[in-house]
Structure 1
Amino acid sequence: MNSTQTQPGIAAIVPVYNEVNRVGNVLEVLTRVADVTEVIVVDDGSSDGSAECASHFCCRVLQHRENQGKAAALWTGLQATKCPIVLFVDADLTGLTVEHIRALLLPVVQGRADMTIGQCQGGRWRTNWAQKVAGWMSGQRALRTDIIDGMASWRDLGWGIEAALTREAKLRRRRILQVPLHGLSQVTKEEKLGYLRGSWQRMRMYGHILHFLCRRGNSQRPVNWFLVRRWSVRISLLLGLVWTLASGWLYIVNAAASRQDALPPLTLPNPNCTLIIAPHPDDDVIACGGLIAKLREQRHDVCVVILTNGDGFPFEVVRETKRPPWRCADYLELGRRRQKEGINALQQLGMPPTSVIFLGFPDRGLSALWIENWNTSTPYRSPYTQRSSVPYPMALHPGQPYSGEALLQDLNRVIREVKPSQVFAPHPDDSHPDHWAASAFTQAAMLTCGLDLS
């Protein structure tokens, strides 16, 4: 931190529960931060080898025999260190950098704050919105341990621990600073556990938080139902806000559509072949449908590559099957159907089926392939289809593992065969994880094949 004074001891505590595919990325960053005196990993009864993975890094690994909850894991870590400053970091982060850690620590080390709370920004839209609505629930924070000295036992708080730490600091009139962490996000419970199990765990998490907020100071007193009603009103207002925003968005879309006649005419170059890369079936038509129709009308060659089969859409499964979205076979059937629909839609624009290529990689998993599951030795497993390789026989390469390396190989193969003179792909600043990841893969493939990104 570029300070000439001796820095106080800093301990980073990482609670872990079944995060074998992600904890290594977090520890790799933490162990490179020179200001962190020690890194303590508390394995909370994992069954997937998370503790073994953590043992390969320069850190202390403590283990619970059984899963006891996040609060208990943090408690165990705190009892194992005497450092006056602790840093809490979740194990399921994506995009974590050394700069993020320093941004959390610096205000506390310099005495400008007693607690910092990290706010994810510019990453995945789900994490961004969650942080905007309830930033005090963030698990990324640095604090002085004297804030919680004498604090009533909080081992049983589970996911309510962040709310407890924030309230304790406020009751003691300590200085709390929110720190923006640009590019940082987390993997959702639905992605890790599947839609049903993930949603159930999310409801449990909110239950832990609400239970803590309704206490009157300690766990022995009865629930404060006035607070329950107050928070029910707040939740209702939040849902109303979401509805209002959604309605406003639809109004803007409709207003823009009504003014489409005012747009200038599309002027086209004279391409030899145009390559369009879409993350999902329908993105190609929504974004480039007019372009495709115009190019085909002028008898130009067009090739459309769709990276996924759109097989991660629980609401569509419910709508079609009229049953809960828990069967992986239903998601696979959805993927096959969306592939056929995508080909039929493009045929309406003049595209021959032979010029439409599906790669079959996991819907809602492209960002994970880019950030976490790059190597074929550690493929991504879809929480929807429960597959870790391309399951569709009509894909370019059936059986290809769900990894960033494999996806890049397929894109390289297409580009070398098609030899496009121009390429269309999503914008790199698109907030949808699959969309910006598709942009990143496209740019990587173009550079590999020697194409000009400009």
Structure 2
Amino acid sequence: MKVSVLIPAWNEADRIDQTILAVRTLDIVDEIVVIDDGSTDDTYRISLEAGARVIRHSTNYGKGAALYSGLLVAEADIYVFLDADMCETAVEIEKLIRPLLQNRCDMTIGRLPKPLKGGFGLVKNFARGGIRRLGGVDMQAPLSGQRALNRSVLDAIGNLGDGYGVEVGMTIDAARGGMRILEVEVDMKNREYGRDLRGFLHRGKQFLQIARVLLNRWQT
């Protein structure tokens, strides 16, 4: 079975090469596609030099649009969605791929260790409650962007949306479509946002974009 890893990236020049090189060590992966979503730094060049296939957006369209662009060019049996800032811990995606190869599920979601820094859990609980109400499943990692899925999930997923609501909408659509969802513990680490102004602004943006996705799914 062919496995393609899709990495949406926006201004990730300082980390993207480490993430790509980590994924390249996995024999289980056949293709790495980076979607440079309008970066103004060297993300495009560094991704190419690290050995990835790179799609370049002239403008920052958002995560959902980036993933959709990747899906248009990558023909695979299993797709892995991976954040660009995972660095060497990106090798842990193997744990997300194996259950799909074994036909134990249709989509895996990476459950990362609890961050050393973080907020108060308001956005996470909001997303978790929305998924439970609209999708009928209780997820411990509702916001995780580290996922692997087979082609049947793509048929169940509607509009990927944009920004931080992508994962929430994806989970609701997959659950409504009867897909088998499995959360998997992975020892991965990405960029953390603390309880400072930057962190609160980030979580505020998350909340608004997730609310928009939940409203959309509630109306359908």
Does the pair score TM above 0.5? yes
**Which residue number in structure 2 is paired with residue 276 of structure 1?**
none
**Which residue number in structure 2 is paired with residue 19 of structure 1?**
12
Letter in 2 for 1:40: V
Provide the rounded CA distance (Å) in 1 between the counterparts of 2:30 and 2:8: 17
**Which residue number in structure 2 is paired with residue 141 of structure 1?**
147
- Verify the 8 A CA contact 2:117 2:194 in the aligned structure 1: no
- Verify the 8 A CA contact 2:169 2:217 in the aligned structure 1: no
Deviations along 1:115-153, one digit per CA (max 9) or x if unpaired, are 00001126x324698698551210001001221226433
Q: 1:197-216 counterparts in 2 under 5 A?
A: 197-216=198-217
> Which one of the candidate residues 117, 132, 151 is aligned to 2:109?
117
Shift of 1:92: 1.6
**Which residue number in structure 2 is paired with residue 68 of structure 1?**
61
Shift of 1:201: 3.2
Deviations along 1:185-238, one digit per CA (max 9) or x if unpaired, are 2212569xxx545532331122111111122456xx7xxxxxxxxxxxxxxxxx
Residue 150 of structure 2 is aligned to residue 159 of structure 1: no
Shift of the 152–181 alpha-carbon distance from structure 1 to 2, 3 Å rule, reads closer
Residue 25 of structure 2 is aligned to residue 32 of structure 1: yes
> Which one of the candidate residues 176, 195, 199 is aligned to 1:171?
176
- Verify the 8 A CA contact 1:44 1:67 in the aligned structure 2: yes
- Verify the 8 A CA contact 1:119 1:178 in the aligned structure 2: yes
Question: Structure 2 regions of 5+ residues with no counterpart?
Answer: 129-140
Deviations along 1:57-113, one digit per CA (max 9) or x if unpaired, are 221010110100111111111111110210001012255052x12111000111001
Task: Between the two structures, name the one with larger relative contact order (CA 8 Å, sep ≥ 6).
Answer: 2
RMSD: 2.5
Provide the rounded CA distance (Å) in 2 between the counterparts of 1:16 and 1:140: 14
Provide the rounded CA distance (Å) in 2 between the counterparts of 1:97 and 1:145: 22
Shift of the 140–41 alpha-carbon distance from structure 1 to 2, 3 Å rule, reads same
Q: 1:15-414 counterparts in 2 under 5 A?
A: 15-94=8-87, 96-98=89-91, 100-121=92-113, 124-126=115-117, 134=128, 135-149=141-155, 151-154=157-160, 156-182=161-187, 184-189=188-193, 195-216=196-217
SS at match of 2:142: helix
Question: Structure 1 regions of 5+ residues with no counterpart?
Answer: 1-7, 222-454
Letter in 1 for 2:116: W
Letter in 2 for 1:204: K
- Verify the 8 A CA contact 1:86 1:144 in the aligned structure 2: yes
Aligned residues: 205
Letter in 2 for 1:178: E
Shift of the 180–216 alpha-carbon distance from structure 1 to 2, 3 Å rule, reads closer
- Verify the 8 A CA contact 1:11 1:39 in the aligned structure 2: yes
Provide the rounded CA distance (Å) in 2 between the counterparts of 1:132 and 1:151: 21
Shift of 1:164: 1.1
Shift of the 95–55 alpha-carbon distance from structure 1 to 2, 3 Å rule, reads closer
Shift of the 174–152 alpha-carbon distance from structure 1 to 2, 3 Å rule, reads closer
> What is the TM-score of this pair, normalised by structure 2?
0.84
SS at match of 2:49: coil
Shift of 1:165: 1.1
SS at match of 2:166: helix
Shift of 1:13: 0.2
Letter in 1 for 2:192: T
Amino-acid identity (%): 31
- Verify the 8 A CA contact 1:84 1:146 in the aligned structure 2: no
Q: Which runs of 4+ in 1 moved over 4 A?
A: 127-134
Provide the rounded CA distance (Å) in 2 between the counterparts of 1:128 and 1:96: 22
Shift of the 116–136 alpha-carbon distance from structure 1 to 2, 3 Å rule, reads same
Provide the rounded CA distance (Å) in 2 between the counterparts of 1:128 and 1:201: 10
